[in-house]
Amino acid sequence: MTHLENLIFETGEISLLTINRPKALNALNRQVIEEMTRTLRDVRDDQTIRVLIVTGAGERAFVAGADIAAMSEMSPIEGLEFSRLGHRLMQDIEDLPIPVIAAVNGFALGGGLELAMACDLIVAGENARFGQPEINLGLIPGFGGTQRLAHRVGQARARQLIMLGEMIDAKTACEWGLVNKVVSSNQLLAETRDLAAKLIAKSGFALRQAKAALRASFTMEEDAGLRFEQSAFGLTFSGADRIEGTKAFVEKREPKWQHR
């Protein structure tokens, strides 16, 4: 395992990755992003990990955005490189074969909301606040927000958040379909672990195909995405879990997954 200065990584069947820079409200600088990228590589290589939870240290923030102090010093080319680095991180999360859940405590702003949106599911504490406030800094979202937000909440609401730079609370984010569940803030991790346990009870092999096909709806035109789904559906027929799952239904019993 690589040395981590800004992250706490607790490995297990349900692994927990905590961004740990509470003094800067867990803002993402180059070092944090590079550490996350390295950790995700370890997660991908570890077949025993079934679900990854991403959260922020402390009570106040999940992630309050990309690091503004660092960005204030960047040249145009460094700004471009920083955006590329952030985009690669978000894609690495989306490309993980296992489900990833964001457990959002406090602020998820700018790069923080972009990070949450790269995850499969978002659980929010009631104190969570969401927004893309980059416009107030003379910037725009740079880690995927202009694309992923509209995909999740539609153009009207994406324009509202990105062009006005306003924040919404957890209840509104849930009504908009941006988050899956709002829970009491002191139960956030417990509730997120419960959700992770439900995912672990599914076929890991089928989840992997589902995740890849869902991602295709974001990266592909509809026709190509529908064709991708056909291939992914077909692939599940090569796995032991499809035989077990369909047989268990016919035999009126619970399936015993082999996750392959």
Decide if 148 contacts 102 (C-beta within 8 A): no
Q: Tell me the two tokens of residue 99.
A: 């489900």
Phi, then psi, of 26 in degrees rounded to 5: 60, 30
| Identity of the residue, 143 or 257, whose beta carbon is nearer to ligand CAA in the bound complex | 143
| Identity of the residue, 122 or 206, whose beta carbon is nearer to ligand CAA in the bound complex | 122
Choosing from 114, 175, 221, 254, which is the catalytic residue? 114
| Identity of the residue, 48 or 75, whose beta carbon is nearer to ligand CAA in the bound complex | 75
Q: Tell me the two tokens of residue 166.
A: 């306003």
The side-by-side arrangement of strands in the sheet containing 129-131 is 61-63, 107-109, 129-131, 167-169
Q: Tell me the two tokens of residue 160.
A: 């509202």
Q: Is 2 exposed, middle or buried (0-12, 13-18, 19+ CB in 10 A)?
A: exposed
Q: Tell me the two tokens of residue 116.
A: 């949450």
Q: Cβ 231 to ligand CAA, closest distance in Å?
A: 33
| Identity of the residue, 14 or 108, whose beta carbon is nearer to ligand CAA in the bound complex | 108
Decide if 53 contacts 101 (C-beta within 8 A): yes
Decide if 125 contacts 183 (C-beta within 8 A): yes
| Identity of the residue, 79 or 154, whose beta carbon is nearer to ligand CAA in the bound complex | 79
Residues forming the site for ligand CAA (CB under 6 A): 24-25, 27, 64-69, 86, 107, 109-111, 114, 133-134, 137, 139, 141-143, 145
| Identity of the residue, 137 or 240, whose beta carbon is nearer to ligand CAA in the bound complex | 137
Q: Cβ 193 to ligand CAA, closest distance in Å?
A: 26
Q: Cβ 112 to ligand CAA, closest distance in Å?
A: 7
What SS3 state is found at 221? coil
Q: Cβ 255 to ligand CAA, closest distance in Å?
A: 42
Choosing from 10, 34, 94, 134, which is the catalytic residue? 134
Written in H, E and C, the secondary structure of 63-113 is ECCECHHHHHCCCHHHHHHHHHHHHHHHHHHHHCCCCEEEEECCEEECHHH
Q: Tell me the two tokens of residue 236.
A: 């599940």
Active-site residue, 114 included: yes
CA distance 239 to 166: 46
Residues noted as catalytic: 114, 134
